[in-house]
Amino acid sequence: MDNHQLQRMTEEISITLFHKPFQHAIYFNARLKTTGGRYLLQSHNIEINERYYKEYGVNEIVGIIKHELCHYHLHLEGRGYQHKDRDFKELMKQVGAPRFCTPLKSYRKQSKSPQKLYLYECSNCAQKYRRKKRVNIDKYVCGKCKGRLKLVKSSIGLT
């Protein structure tokens, strides 16, 4: 499937389910990593993660398009288009749009690989903190007692 076919399919879904035309652009964005798609508030365009099409096929893409079209149409109408809004939840239920997309198999494999973890300890109260990223110990202090932090261990697959 290319961007032109994606555009035509989205226009058809918009007319049949929402009874309104989709008048902006939809296209695949290879840089999207963890989300199936996103609606851009400024340009009103929709971006779709191409890996979802490659891993799950057209049915998953149709669900993502329905979800993003809910954002699109509600935003253009000036109604609640965010996930927390009642208008959004009701419209999603009406058109059968999924709340979340299926997690990517390739992303799940990535996240299970061993990662470098850091273990910090408060020099005052001995509270321990595990972090995936390094912490600037000159800037941050213990959340419990405001004591200074020190790096205890840095390793791969720390448990």
Q: What does the CA dihedral 103, 104, 107, 111 come to, rounded to 10 degrees?
A: 30
Amino acid at 144: K
CA-CA distance, 67 to 136, in Å (whole number)?
40
Nearest of 83, 31, 37 to residue 56 by alpha carbon: 37
Q: Compute the chain's Rg from CA coordinates.
A: 22
Q: Which of 12, 50, 55, 68 is catalytic?
A: 68
> Is 55 considered catalytic here?
no
Place of tokens 């365009």: 45
CA-CA distance, 127 to 129, in Å (whole number)?
7
CA-CA distance, 74 to 76, in Å (whole number)?
5
Which sequence positions are flagged as catalytic? 68
